[in-house]
Chain A
Amino acid sequence: MTTVKPILLAEDNPRDAELALAAMEEQHIADKVVVCHDGAEVLDYLYCRGIFASRQQGNPVVVFLDLKMPKIDGLEVLKTIKNDVNLKPIPVVMLTSSREERDLAQSYALGANAYVVKPVEFQQFIAAVKELGVFWGVINEPPPEGSDPIE
């Protein structure tokens, strides 16, 4: 692999974003992370428009999606991704504070690949983010780029 595919982190709270980055720092994958601060920004990134109009083409290796975000919330972004033929293969991991059954059920129904509740305890949070980053960003083999999806 010549180009490093980015990890997209959708997190409206800058502190959570900083803590997540601090966790990924330890795994030396922080430089792969692109942070979006709301749902609209995530979609701008994925469709290469707005402030991301000039970014390098290609889907992120994984999207970490917060549920509660300004403008467009996590579930809506998830719905858009999973309804788009080109974006559908991107693994989406819900990373949220909510333990509500309703959120879990809706996320999976819309096609989320994983659902992780952010632990309050920082050590656990670091562990979770590390594992997620390593698994989805390094271990997991992403879908081939530009391949025609079998419809």
Chain B
Amino acid sequence: MESVTQERPATPAPVRSEPVPDSNPAPTPNTGGRMEWFTHWSIERRVLAGFGLVFAGIVVISAISYRNTAVLIENSRLDTKSHELVQLLGSVGEALGAAESGHRRYLVTGDESYLTSYRTVVEQMPEYLRYLRSLTNERAEQQARVATLEQLIASQLAAEAGAIAQREKHGYEGVRHLALAGAAKNEIEGIHRLMTELDTAEQRALYDRVAQSAGSTKNTIALLGLGAFLQLVLLASVYFLIHHDVAERRRVATELQSRGELLQAANKELEAFSYSVSHDLRAPLRHIDGYAALLSKAAGEALNDKARRYLQTISDSAKQMGQLIDDLLVFSRMGRQDMLRTTINLDQLVKTVLHDLRLDLQGRTISWTIHPLPNVSGDPAMLRQVFVNLISNALKFTATRPETKIEIGAVRRNSGEAEVFVRDNGVGFDMQYVNKLFGVFQRLHRNDEFEGTGIGLANVRRIIHRHGGRTWAEGAVDQGATFYFSLPLARSLK
């Protein structure tokens, strides 16, 4: 439905009632000022910001948790290594002890079976040492100890090997003093000391790591808790924002609907009003004219010329008012009437209009120039009215010319719009009154110059506006006039 006043407001009336912050976007010292930029944001931006924050929170917390977990895994790997090292140290100590006591028994007894342990140790020691090195490869201080340990072990084994060789050559007597104290007394002490150092250092590292892991686990749990809380807060605020906006939209929709209903009611009232005008206002006019005619007939010859002229004036005025009412009703209907939307061949339309106007053209010398016109989309009856009005005007205001020239054409300004013009060589108009041309009942000529009520161009403008187009005119006194209107070619219409 279309309102009767076709002039749409430039901007919709503000319907948002929420407090709009000051137009000055500079941060104000009050507490509300900080959120000012936020309330200016669209719902999409707010939601995006909310989800961005949630995402960033998740990323940060995940990163920290990942790092903490990695530390835990690393610590547990190192712990395993430490435990293995402690165990290995025990085995190495045991094996060395067994080898030492075995070689002394051999030195005393010369029984070769006591050398089994010693030989096993000699055989396995490189393997043990490689393992030892791999278990300490991440800690420089332990590595240094292992290197010293290696030397001591090597010299112990070498001393023992020397003692065994001597026993073989010289018998028990050659090694008696060695058999009691052992071949590598000094080295064994050093080895024991070093192994204890290694063990203690490893135990201390283990203890430190356990403490670190416990702290990091606690930290992670706290962080995850904080993260969950943060995410809940953010989700809640995003929910609040969405909810707020949805509520606002719903409110606006309700208001629009109620305004629409009001508008519809107003339109109905207007319709009833114009109906009433159509029916009731015309009746008294009919009576005035009718009774004036009856009076003139009844009084007949008794009336003098003056009285007859008065009666005629009464009649004429009534008729004129009747015409004005009719014109106003047509104008009002143009604004309310439902519009058809079809493709219109303007060439054909102009042809039929000229055919319909042929009676007005009789006895006139008219030179027509009609250029090809485009196809437009619109209401055929309404656009026909536009051409009837413009061409009738052109004919009317050229009546005083010996030869009438009327030109109709179109200019395609851009892809979506056509500009159509009707040009004549008539009396024209003063450009300073151009704004009055399209007004309702606005006339630039006296009635005794050119008759008419001044509704034609108002109707043209209303129809063209309803099609989403514009109207304008150019002219000069005594140099003709050109009336333009634009129409959308294929775009959807208002």
Contact = CB atoms under 8 A, between A and B. Distances in A.
A135 B283 CA distance: 24
Interface in A93-151: 96-101, 118-123, 125-126
A34 B319 CA distance: 29
Contacts of B289: 120-122, 125
Nearest to A120: B322
B241 interface: no
Interface stretch (A13-21, A35-43, A49-57, A81-89): A13-21
A128 to B, nearest CB: 11
B293 A99 contact: no
A33 B172 CA distance: 172
B275 interface: yes
B314 to A, nearest CB: 11
A2 B285 CA distance: 40
A118 B280 CA distance: 12
User: Considering residues B278, B279, B282, B319, which has the most beta carbons from chain A within 10 angstroms of its beta carbon?
Assistant: B279
Interface in B293-308: 293-294
B278 A123 contact: no
Contacts of B319: 120-121
A25 to B, nearest CB: 10
A100 B278 contact: yes
A103 B166 CA distance: 143
B318 interface: yes
B296 to A, nearest CB: 10
A121 B289 CA distance: 6
A120 B275 contact: no
Contact of A96 (B279, B290, B322, B329): B279
Given A99-B329, A120-B319, A120-B322, A15 B290 contact: yes
Contacts of A16: 283, 286-287
A96 B286 CA distance: 12
A100 B279 CA distance: 9
B292 interface: yes
A120 B278 contact: no
Contact of B286 (A68, A98, A125): A125
A149 to B, nearest CB: 34
B325 to A, nearest CB: 8
Given A121-B322, A122-B292, A19 B279 contact: no
Contacts of A99: 278, 326, 329
A97 to B, nearest CB: 5
Contacts of A126: 293
- Shortest 6 CB-CB distances between A and B: which pairs? A120-B322, A122-B290, A19-B290, A122-B293, A122-B289, A97-B279
Given A15-B290, A22-B290, 6 more contacts: A15-B287, A19-B287, A19-B290, A120-B282, A120-B321, A122-B290
